[in-house]
């Protein structure tokens, strides 16, 4: 049985300001570094075999804390990056409304679609399944990326509450497909 744990990176200043990050290479803030260390301590006490991560600094730093504290091998992959925010990167909801109006979501602002994220990320999941069959694998990535992948792998999943910073969502591969056995867990943050 193969298990994949999807982890959202630790917090950043832009998370707190509610700015769209997308492909912008925003580092973890002080709280995010602490969250990553707490996550690494948790992972050390669980059964995981390897960690994959987006190469963007906020995900990479979160994964490096896991690598250091849980002594897991770390592999970076650009296909695990966040969905591109196009022209909205760096802006807040209010700034988007001021610039493009209330219906800004209906405009073509270069935002990467869920289909595009899934098309580039599904091959990574397939490669992980082939390379680490029967193992427990962590994937450290980003909020929109994780939501898109979870919806693709477990279509019935309830994503009303978005994944929190350093949350773990655990999927188990069964004969019938993927089952979500844990969603958005941040017990390590207290």
Three state DSSP letters for 150-180: HHHHCCCCCCCCCCCCCCEEEEEEECCEEEE
Distance, CA of 58 to CA of 12 (rounded, Å): 7
Of the candidates 64, 67, 82, 112, the residue annotated as catalytic is 82
The reply, when asked if residue 120 is annotated as ligand binding, is no
Is 15 part of any known ligand binding site? yes
The answer to whether 10 is a known ligand-binding residue is yes
Q: How would you classify the pairing of strands 3-8 and 168-174?
A: antiparallel
For the question of residue 87 being annotated catalytic, the response is no
Q: How far, in Å, CA of 113 to CA of 105, rounded?
A: 12
Q: Is 17 a catalytic residue?
A: no
Q: Which two tokens stand for residue 67?
A: 């690598």
5 is in an annotated binding site: no
Backbone angles phi, psi at 3, to 5 degrees: -120, 135
The verdict on whether residue 147 carries a ligand-binding annotation is no
Q: Is 91 annotated as a binding residue?
A: no
| Residue 13 counted as an annotated binding residue | yes
Per the annotation, where are the binding residues for substrate? 8-15, 58
- The residues that are catalytic are 9, 82
Per the annotation, where are the binding residues? 8-15, 58
């Amino acid at each position: 049985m193969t298990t994949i744990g999807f982890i959202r990176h630790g917090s950043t200043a832009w998370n707190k300001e509610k700015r769209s990050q997308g492909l912008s290479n925003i580092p973890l803030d002080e709280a995010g570094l602490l969250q990553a260390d707490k996550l690494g301590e948790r992972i050390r006490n669980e059964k995981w075999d390897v960690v994959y991560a987006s190469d963007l600094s906020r995900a990479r730093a979160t994964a490096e804390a896991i690598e250091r504290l849980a002594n897991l091998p770390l592999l970076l992959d650009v296909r695990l990056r966040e969905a591109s925010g196009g022209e909205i990167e760096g802006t807040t909801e209010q700034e988007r409304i001021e610039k493009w109006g209330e219906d800004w979501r209906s405009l073509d602002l270069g935002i990467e679609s869920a289909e595009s994220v899934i098309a580039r990320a599904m091959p990574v999941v397939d490669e992980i399944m082939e390379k680490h069959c029967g193992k427990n694998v962590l994937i450290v990535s980003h909020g929109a990326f994780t939501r898109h992948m979870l919806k693709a792998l477990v279509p019935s999943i309830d994503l009303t509450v978005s994944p929190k910073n350093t949350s773990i969502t655990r999927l188990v591969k069964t004969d019938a497909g993927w089952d979500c056995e844990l969603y958005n867990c941040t017990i390590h943050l207290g």
